[in-house]
Amino acid sequence: MSSYQTPSPNLLDIDHPDADILVRSADGVNYRTFRFLLSMASPILKDMFGLPRQVDSESTNGVDEILDGLPVVQFAEDSATLRHLLPLCYPVSYHGVRVIAKPNSLAEVNGVLKAARKYEMDGAFRIAVAWLLDPAFLTTEPLRVFTIACFHRLSDEASTAARCTLVHPILHETNIPEISSINAGLLQSVLLYHRHCVQAAIAVVENLDSWMSPTTSNLIKCTKGENQIVIASSTFSDSTSKTTRRVCVHHWLSQYMTSIKTALPNFCSGAAAKDVESLARALVAVVKCPVCSTPSSDSEGMGRTFPKFVEVLATKIEQEISKVSSTLLASQR
- The candidate with the shortest Cα–Cα distance to 173, out of 198, 194, 200, is 194
Beta strands in 242-281 (DSSP E): 245-249
Domains and CATH numbers, the chain: 1-107 (3.30.710), 205-324 (no CATH)
Residues 84 and 109: their CA atoms lie apart, in Å, by 9
Residue 111: phi and psi, rounded to 5, are -60, -40
Residues 185 and 325: their CA atoms lie apart, in Å, by 17
Cβ distance 286 to 266 under 8 Å?
Answer: no
What is the predicted pLDDT for the residue at 1?
41
Q: Name, in order, each residue with C-beta under 8 angstroms of 314's C-beta and a sequence gap of 6 or more.
A: 270, 271, 272, 273, 274
Average pLDDT along the chain, 333 residues, taken 10 residues at a time? 48 71 92 92 89 53 70 93 91 56 92 97 95 96 95 94 91 82 89 94 92 87 80 53 73 92 95 93 88 72 88 96 71 50
pLDDT in tens, 241-261: 556 778 888 889 989 999 999
pTM exceeding the 0.85 threshold for the entire prediction: no
Alpha-carbon distances of 208 from 4, 44, 277, 314, rounded to whole Å: 68, 59, 21, 13
Cβ distance 251 to 281 under 8 Å?
Answer: no
DSSP alpha helix (H) spans, 7-58: 35-41, 43-49
Amino acid of residue 128? A
